[in-house]
Structure 1
Amino acid sequence: MSRLHLPAPLPLLAPLREPVPDRCAITYLPRHRLRITIDHEPLAGITPEMLLWWFQHIGGTMTYLGDTVTRYRAWHPFDHIHWELDREAPGGGVGEGARFRIVEALGRDERYYIDTVDTVEKLDATGIRLVLRVLGAQVFQLEHTWSRAADATHYTSVMDVGGRAAWTAPINRHLRRRVFVPGMERAWITHNVEEVGLLEHILPPLYAQHVSSD
């Protein structure tokens, strides 16, 4: 896949959240493995059903400060480049078994450019799990989990880079040297905290349109 150009940033709809150190953790594990966890501050005015709808319809467009943009660009106006449905779910559309192509540059830093195709192994009202496997072994997983809270949703993110099996150690080393390079850990934390926080501002009106159109 050819490298995609980083577009000019969109104007901000709302201030970006900042990481809270006590809510974030980076753990370095044996065989070049890495785990990043974020316990996000609650998303006010968001429900698990809204988040499920968002990921099922992330490929559409929306009105954003008077312009029509892709929902993926609106989700992070600075870092997001492109999203596409690389493969539909077995039942069609976006669902478990689908594959997402995700292209972004964390912090608008070209050193932290990501272009990946991951399989959706879970997508329901409790969360989404994206996985990359090599010869059947999981070498990457990103799981977002949601639960209902008082007038809000509790949202956690866990990223695992690297496989557990001994034979995946060379793959893990390659991932950490060439793909998810040193420094991307903290850049991804900032990026993910920002994009999750922006859902408070972009998702409720978009979802309200969806409900009223049904």
Structure 2
Amino acid sequence: MVPVLYPLRSVETATVQFLHAAHHRRRVTIDHRPLADVTPAMLLDWFSHLDGTMSYGGETVDRYLAWHPVDHIRWALDRPAPGGGAAEGARFRIVEAFGGKPEYRVDVVDRVEKLDATGIRLVQRLAGIPIFQLEHTWSAGSDGVHYVSVMDIGARAAVMAPVNRFLGRRLPDHMVSAWVRHNIEEVGQLEYLLPLLSREAEPAQRA
């Protein structure tokens, strides 16, 4: 098992908003504390190479497992992007358990509908209609990267209300709260992991 080497951020370090909208649609917004010594370019590289490995605690481990050793189980490129690799148009398979609890395990395939220097957007669609969306946006600031996560559960159209109710049973509010803690913890880990990767790359760049 991969150990937890760096402190996990608490929920209180972020500003969290929960919204219950029409037709049983829900939205969660997390405004994270800035990530010191992290740049947008580092984040783009991270999400573009989640299948890579890194030095962690004196061993070489999967980046995805180092990202959250407790909750993360598996990440795979279910389908490469049209131009290859983990880019816009790719499909990510994500397996994790919030808080390490089996009852909060998810195993999903998300389509990457955006991945650039400003953020990433993961989407699940039903008959072409978005029913789940998770978007992370970031921008450079004087105290580090400003990072915001927004999760939308459910479709906007009234006709999709039965689907939204089903999603409510599949992803109830208490599970969403567990995801919030998970997300705040994993985003906080990037403050340690990305500068570490950058320092590892420096000798190769000088060679």
The two structures have a TM-score, normalised by structure 1, of 0.91
Q: Does 1:72 align with 2:53?
A: no
What are the ranges of 5 or more consecutive residues in structure 2 without an aligned counterpart? none
Which residue is 2:11 aligned to? Answer: 19
After superposition, the Cα gap between the structure-2 partners of 1:211 and 1:94, relative to the gap in structure 1 and judged at 3 Å, is: farther
Find the partner of 1:158 among 137, 150, 155. Answer: 150
RMSD of aligned alpha carbons: 1.4
Find the partner of 2:88 among 89, 96, 106. Answer: 96
Identical positions, percent:
57
Amino acid aligned to 2:22? P
Distance 1:170 1:209 in 2: 50
C-alpha displacement of 1:127: 0.3
Q: What secondary structure is seen at the aligned counterpart in 1 of 2:145?
A: strand
Amino acid aligned to 2:198? Y
Q: Does 1:136 align with 2:136?
A: no
What are the ranges of 5 or more consecutive residues in structure 1 without an aligned counterpart? 1-7
Q: Which stretch shows the higher mean deviation, 195-204 or 168-177?
A: 168-177
Q: Does 1:170 align with 2:162?
A: yes
1:7-156 to structure 2, matched below 5 A, reads 8=1, 10-20=2-12, 23-156=15-148
Task: Provide, for residues 62-88 of structure 1, a one-character-per-residue CA deviation record: whole Å limited to 9, x for no partner.
Answer: 121022211101100100000000011
Distance 1:152 1:145 in 2: 14
| Number of residue-to-residue matches in the alignment | 205
Amino acid aligned to 1:77? P
After superposition, the Cα gap between the structure-2 partners of 1:176 and 1:119, relative to the gap in structure 1 and judged at 3 Å, is: same
C-alpha displacement of 1:213: 3.0
Amino acid aligned to 2:121? R
Q: What secondary structure is seen at the aligned counterpart in 1 of 2:86?
A: coil
Distance 2:195 2:41 in 1: 11
Stretches (4+) displaced over 2 A: 207-214
Q: Is the 8 A contact 1:13 1:201 kept in 2?
A: no
Distance 1:32 1:211 in 2: 49
Which residue is 2:194 aligned to? Answer: 203
